[in-house]
Amino acid sequence: MDINIRQHIINNFEGDSKETLRKAIDESIQENDEITLPGMGVFFELIWQDASDNLKNELLELLEKRVAKKESN
């Protein structure tokens, strides 16, 4: 059986509004459930693929700050 997790996740959200996507992201973070991590990874991958270099740099700066903050706790 060949399962394409990326495509499955994309198909689950195809045609959804920004509000629905935001709700899914917010709920995934609030639930702190590791089962949602693949979906969050797919979302990030989609964003990354279409992001400008400026947006990528902004995301990397945010990520660097958050990782450094987590390490200091």
Query: Scanning the structure block, which residue is given the tokens 């995301």?
Result: 59
pLDDT score of 19: 98
23-72 pLDDT, tens digit each: 999 999 999 989 999 999 999 999 999 999 999 999 999 999 999 987 66
The predicted structure's pLDDT at residue 70: 73
> Using one digit for the tens of pLDDT, what is the confidence trace for 4-31?
999 999 999 999 999 999 999 999 999 9
Q: Which residues contact 42 (CB under 8 A, 6 or more apart)?
A: 5, 6, 9, 10
- pTM of the predicted model as reported, rounded to 2 decimal places: 0.83
Give the number of other Cβ atoms within 10 Å of residue 9's Cβ: 18
Whole-number average pLDDT of the chain? 93
